[in-house]
Structure 1
Amino acid sequence: MSADEAQFDNVLLAVAEKHRGGVPDFLHTLASFLRRKTDFYTGAKQAEWEKLLLDVFRKESQLAMAAHEEKVKVRQAAQRMKDEKERAEREARQKEMDDNKICDISDEEAAAIIKEEEDKKRQQLLDGAGGDSASVTAANEDISKPIEKVEDETEKDEIGKLKPNAGNGCTLDKYMWTQTLQEVELKIPFNVAFALRARDIVVSIGKKSLKVGLKGQEPIIDGELCGEVKQEESVWVLQDSKTVLITLEKINRMNWWSRLVTTDPEISTRKINPEPSKLSDLDGETRSMVEKMMYDQRQKEMGLPTSEDRKKQDILEKFKQQHPEMDFSKCKFN
């Protein structure tokens, strides 16, 4: 597009926005202007002005179609790269699962492991250290604490919510989870005196539900997820015969989760600090969209204009400058 073509964009956009009927009403206004203010229709034969209109619109249509096809090619190329990346990630996860497969052991081996675990627990008790998984978790991962005070008055609603952990998630008594815009990773340590096998564990991942626990016992987690996930892309593995690791692929990759399941305490998503490297993993179009949405969300929370509001204000200001003879003092704009 040349500079000459774009010089009237702001004026035309401001005019077009006044037409509630959309393009048909806008074109009707242009045609009416030519009828009332020019000899467009009477100064030439009908066939001539019809040909002129068709030539202009055909030319612009060809340019529009060419630009559209180019955008489609770029999106398709980006989608292919995204699909290839996801395929590579799936293969990597599958390899990790294969590498961590638990093999069945004999009863004699299980008895030896149980005795070893019990000996360790007795030694821990003698040393004054608790042996339950919550104590171990608390020792290794700080339990998420509630926000007690804020510096900015606009953040007073965040008081009482939990601070996100280092992984932008939450660390609770029985499990901890972290997140990126693309996925949630959950770690659940089990307090048992024997080596777990995959068949001892119940893991049920629904589109918006999760159930995890040991067979025959109350589940550790059984509830509705904060957001929907891709069931076919979500996986779990048993690590070190004691800990279950679950990776949940988000369907909505534009929002941060404020909790894992709806019964969990809420974390402050305003305190989340995403790593720039995570955003750089996204393709250009998706990254721009994510950054715009995050910016708009922060602006709304602070009562400030969004990017769309700023764009409309800029158009209005330019229109005012181009038409100083017009009085806008009594006009109200949404």
Structure 2
Amino acid sequence: MSARYDDVLMAVVQQEGSIKGLLHAFFDFLHRKTDLYVVSDNPKRSMGFAPGQAQNLVLNSFQSFPMKPIEDVQPQVAAAPHAQKEKKTSTRSQVEITEEGKQVPVGNGGFTDKYTWTQSLQDLTVSIPIPKGTKSKDLNVKFTQSTLCVKMKGKDEPVVEGKFGGKIKVEDSLWSLESNEALVVSLEKAAPKT
């Protein structure tokens, strides 16, 4: 499972701008959509956790990965603001920061005024900011083997529209809303014909 969700999680980090933002988005999701924050003393409960049990679950998950010395760490996600300043003075590979203080997308990606993207040889992930509070029913998202079009329902002007540089596998591609503030489109690239 180590790399399975990298594209989606990287899109969240890019959208939120920091590890703290990623964690806040993750725990906000757990609070709204799961029973992690439901506490019950009833031993016959069908949902929720005994007092302290959820915190222990989170702590155990955190502790299941070893801490790394600074020299082993590769800059892959945006660090906290004070840590970014330290990295800028380092002679090692650096996290690039825009004038607005946001991390330049990593993962062979880029950004425009309308979206950011990352890609690998097999996958492409596009993160599109949308108005806060937007629901999936408010969006019209269409992709074909070679195009993507995102519109707000009832509007003629697309939020994003364009052609891909290559073909995608439509049946293996999907989109989702992240914190009702970003549309994340995860696409699988079609194998190039040789």
Normalization by structure 1: what TM-score? 0.28
More helix by share: 1
More strand by share: 2
Task: Specify which structure has the bigger relative contact order, considering alpha-carbon pairs within 8 angstroms and separated by 6 or more residues.
Answer: 2
Normalization by structure 2: what TM-score? 0.46
Q: Which has the larger radius of gyration?
A: 1
